[in-house]
Amino acid sequence: MSANPPRLARLLVRLVVPKRDRRFLVGDLDEEFAGLAAAGREPRALRRWYWRQVVGSVWPSLRRRRSARPARRRWLRPAVDRALQDLRFSLRMIRRNPVFSLVVIATFGLGIGLASTVFNITNAFVHQPLPFERSDRLLVVRRANPVKHVTDMGVTVHDLVDWRERQSAFERLTAYAPVLVDLSAAEGRPEREEGALFSAGVFETLGVQPILGRTFRPEEERPGAPPVIVLGYDIWQRRFQGAPDILGRTVVANGIPRTVVGVMPRGFVFPTVGRVWLPLEIDPAAHPRGEGPTFSVLGRLVDGTSAGEAAAQLSAIAARLGEEYPDSNAGIGATVKTLKQTLVPAAYYGLFYTMVAAALGVLLIGCANVANLLLARASARTHEFAIRAALGAGRRRLIGQLLTETFVLAVAGGGIGLLLGRFGLDWFAGEVRRVTSAVGTGMDELPFWINFEPDAHVVLFVVGATVLAAAAAGVLPAFRAVSPAAGETLTAGFRGSSSLRIGRLTGSLVIAQVAVSCVLLVLAGLMVMSLARLTTVDFAYTTDDVLTARVALPEARYPDAARRLRFHEQLLARLEAIPGVASTTLSDGLPPVRVGAWKVEVEGRTYAADQDYPRVRRALVTPGYFRTFETPVLQGRDFRDADGREAPPVAMVNASFVRKYFPDGGAVGRRFRPRPDAGDAPWLTVVGVVPDMKALPLGADGVSSEAQNPACYYVPMAQSQGAPTLAMALRTYGPPLNWAPDVRNAVAKIDPELPLFRVLSLDGVILRATWFYPVFGTLFMTFGFGALFLSALGLYGVMAFAVTQRTREMGIRMALGARSDQMVRLVMRRSLVQMGAGLGIGLPLAVASAGSIGWLLFDVQPHDPAIFGLVLLTLIGVGLLAAFLPARRAAAVDPVVALSVE
Report the percent of the chain where pLDDT is more than 70: 82
Q: So what's the pLDDT on residue 23?
A: 61
pLDDT digits (tens, 9 = 90+) for 181-224: 888 876 667 888 889 999 999 999 999 999 999 999 999 988 88
Check: CB of residue 473 under 8 Å from CB of residue 410: yes
Check: CB of residue 9 under 8 Å from CB of residue 51: yes
Helix (H) or strand (E) holding 555: none
- Residue 706: CB atoms within 10 A of its CB come to 15
Quote the CA–CA distance of 644 and 568 in Å, as a whole number: 13
Q: So what's the pLDDT on residue 666?
A: 82
Check: CB of residue 629 under 8 Å from CB of residue 542: yes
Longest Cα pair distance anywhere in the chain, in angstroms? Answer: 125
pLDDT digits (tens, 9 = 90+) for 794-826: 777 766 666 666 666 667 777 777 777 777 777
Quote the CA–CA distance of 312 and 169 in Å, as a whole number: 10
**Local confidence band at 72 (pLDDT 50, 70, 90 cut-offs):** very low
Q: So what's the pLDDT on residue 490?
A: 44
Quote the CA–CA distance of 142 and 100 in Å, as a whole number: 59
Q: So what's the pLDDT on residue 2?
A: 53
Q: So what's the pLDDT on residue 81?
A: 67
Lowest mean pLDDT among 238-252, 485-499, 646-660, 718-732: 485-499
DSSP state of 125: I
- For the chain, the average pLDDT equals 81
pLDDT(243) > 80: yes
pLDDT(48) > 70: yes
Quote the CA–CA distance of 650 and 196 in Å, as a whole number: 39
Please state the rounded mean pLDDT for residues 365-385.
Answer: 74
Q: Which residue has the higher pLDDT, 308 or 778?
A: 308
Q: So what's the pLDDT on residue 484?
A: 53
Q: So what's the pLDDT on residue 160?
A: 92
pLDDT digits (tens, 9 = 90+) for 532-553: 887 777 788 888 899 999 998 8
Classified as helix, coil or strand, 435 is: helix
pLDDT digits (tens, 9 = 90+) for 634-644: 999 999 989 98
| Helix%, strand%, coil% for the chain, nearest 5 | 55, 15, 30
Quote the CA–CA distance of 627 and 618 in Å, as a whole number: 18
pLDDT(407) > 80: yes
Beta strands 228-231 and 276-279: pairing type? antiparallel
3-state secondary structure 77-115: HHHHHHHHHHHHHHHHHHHHCHHHHHHHHHHHHHHHHHH
pLDDT digits (tens, 9 = 90+) for 341-357: 888 777 677 778 878 88
Chain centroid to CA 772: how far? 12
Query: Nearest CA to 329 among 291, 296, 284?
Result: 291
pLDDT(765) > 50: yes
Handedness of CA 784, 789, 794, 800 (dihedral sign): positive
Lowest mean pLDDT among 80-84, 182-186, 848-852: 80-84
Q: So what's the pLDDT on residue 493?
A: 45
Q: So what's the pLDDT on residue 707?
A: 43
Q: Which residue has the higher pLDDT, 777 or 327?
A: 327
Quote the CA–CA distance of 262 and 209 in Å, as a whole number: 10
Q: So what's the pLDDT on residue 671?
A: 93
Quote the CA–CA distance of 33 and 25 in Å, as a whole number: 12
Q: So what's the pLDDT on residue 76?
A: 54
Residue spans per domain, the chain: 1-69, 82-129+347-499, 135-346, 501-537+772-899, 554-753
**Local confidence band at 149 (pLDDT 50, 70, 90 cut-offs):** confident
pLDDT digits (tens, 9 = 90+) for 709-743: 688 999 999 998 888 889 999 999 988 989 999 99
Residues 6+ apart with CB under 8 A from 739: 547, 578, 580, 581, 730, 732
pLDDT(878) > 50: yes
Query: Nearest CA to 204 among 112, 123, 300?
Result: 300
Q: Which residue has the higher pLDDT, 814 or 78?
A: 814
Please state the rounded mean pLDDT for residues 675-686.
Answer: 76
pLDDT digits (tens, 9 = 90+) for 152-168: 889 999 999 999 999 99
Most confident of 211-215, 608-612, 753-757, 764-768: 211-215
Task: Phi first, then psi: give them for residue 758, nearest 5 degrees.
Answer: 50, 50
Task: Phi first, then psi: give them for residue 101, nearest 5 degrees.
Answer: -65, -45
DSSP state of 123: I
pLDDT(442) > 70: no
